[in-house]
Amino acid sequence: MKKKMMVTLLTSVCLMGPVGMLTQTHPQVVQAASKGKLRVKGNKKVRLYTNRGKKSKYYAYTSRTYSYSAKKYLKIGKKKHLAYKIGNNSHWILAKNAKLVKKTVERYSQAVIKLPSGYTRSELLEAYKGHPSEEFIAASMKGMEENNFSRVATGETASDKRLINPDKLSASEQHELADFSLRVINSAREQLGLEPWIYSTGTQELADDIANEYEEHGRSIKDQGHYVEGIVKACQKHGLELDDNYVEDMAGFTINKTTMPMGEMKRNVYFGLKQMIFGFAGSGEDERKNKSLYREWEHAGDLFNTQGSSHDGDHNYYGFSISKTGKIYSMHFISVPTFIVGSEKYNTNFRP
């Protein structure tokens, strides 16, 4: 029943767009409330006008998108022309020189794992033992394809846009990620007729101490193995007399930045869980169609308490933590089986 880890690393890429530059020939950024956005029509810069319909010294450029705060008709000569205000100093662009940018509606989606037909506990058990059927591999590949939250840029809600530091999570941020990961796990367990795992304070404290052991000793997922010594030490500190790793599954990612949107962090967590459930050993979404990379379901056996033992079908107490070593972030999915909690042999003082 030893827990395993995903030996592949996810890579989070920070895509930075070009920064808009202000020069003396550009209008200043509008300060009033924006009513919409527009771009210059055609491929040449266009002259802007003052509030009185006079030509200004400023231009609007095709490379930029402008917010406008008002529109009205300007009298230029003997004619009136519809115009949009795009600056805070009465810079107006004629409507004939502009094209409005359609508002995009951000679509959010809740993260769940849907198990395809053919993904059953009996098939999983054979895969856990190292003998996956062709049908089960096909179901796993379908699961990697159809469960696409890790490829959705928006996240679950607008609040997922806020920046977090994975190495310095607040208590509420850590609890949000623990709740998120547990919800994803239980969404899949329910489809297999399994009881849900339960978040517990004691297991969360254990998860935190395991993460601390990794950081204090410079260990990470990149070391191609669990830090068993640290895991055993943390377990015994919490009253669990275990001599090996029976509590940790692990995934990870690397980034070259210190902060990221909460939605990006959730996508990393989701992808790690998706890898485990569907036996995918690739390093990213781009490799998900490679059949040869579907070869390890020991994590799934852990997550679904399906390992060919007398304790199959049980449920666990759960906690989640993150450790950082260099630019590598290890995600620790910590679970303590109920039979261990109820065992006088293994549990001397652990309280979930």
* Helix (H), strand (E), coil (C) string for 275-299: HHHHCECCCCHHHCCCHHHECCCHH
pLDDT for 154-203, tens place per residue?
788 989 999 999 999 999 999 999 999 999 999 999 999 999 999 999 99
Cβ distance 113 to 188 under 8 Å? yes
pLDDT score of 2: 59
pLDDT for 222-248, tens place per residue?
987 899 999 999 999 999 999 999 999
Q: Kind and range of the H or E element at 175?
A: helix 171-191
First to last CA, the chain: 20
pLDDT for 22-59, tens place per residue?
223 333 333 346 788 999 999 999 999 998 899 999 99
pLDDT score of 154: 78
Q: Which of 99-103, 115-119, 195-199 has the lowest mean pLDDT?
A: 99-103
Instruction: Copy the structure tokens of residue 62.
Output: 């095709």
Whole-angstrom distance, CA of residue 135 vs CA of residue 233? 41
Q: Kind and range of the H or E element at 300?
A: helix 298-303
Which regions of the chain does DSSP assign to beta strands (E)?
10-11, 36-40, 46-49, 55-60, 65-68, 70-76, 79-85, 92-94, 98-101, 163-164, 198-199, 248-254, 260-261, 316-325, 328-337
Whole-angstrom distance, CA of residue 325 vs CA of residue 347? 31
**Nearest C-alpha neighbor of 272 from the set 233, 319, 208, 329:** 329
Whole-angstrom distance, CA of residue 126 vs CA of residue 103? 50
Q: What is the DSSP string of 68-111?
A: E-EEEEEEETTEEEEEEE-STTS-EEEGGGEEEEPPPPP-----
% residues pLDDT > 90 (the chain):
80
Using CA atoms, how far residue 171 sits from 174, 214, 258, in Å, is 5, 20, 18
Whole-angstrom distance, CA of residue 144 vs CA of residue 113? 9
Whole-angstrom distance, CA of residue 190 vs CA of residue 115? 10
**Nearest C-alpha neighbor of 335 from the set 206, 189, 190, 187:** 206
Whole-angstrom distance, CA of residue 125 vs CA of residue 131? 9
pLDDT for 64-100, tens place per residue?
999 899 999 999 999 999 999 997 667 999 999 999 9
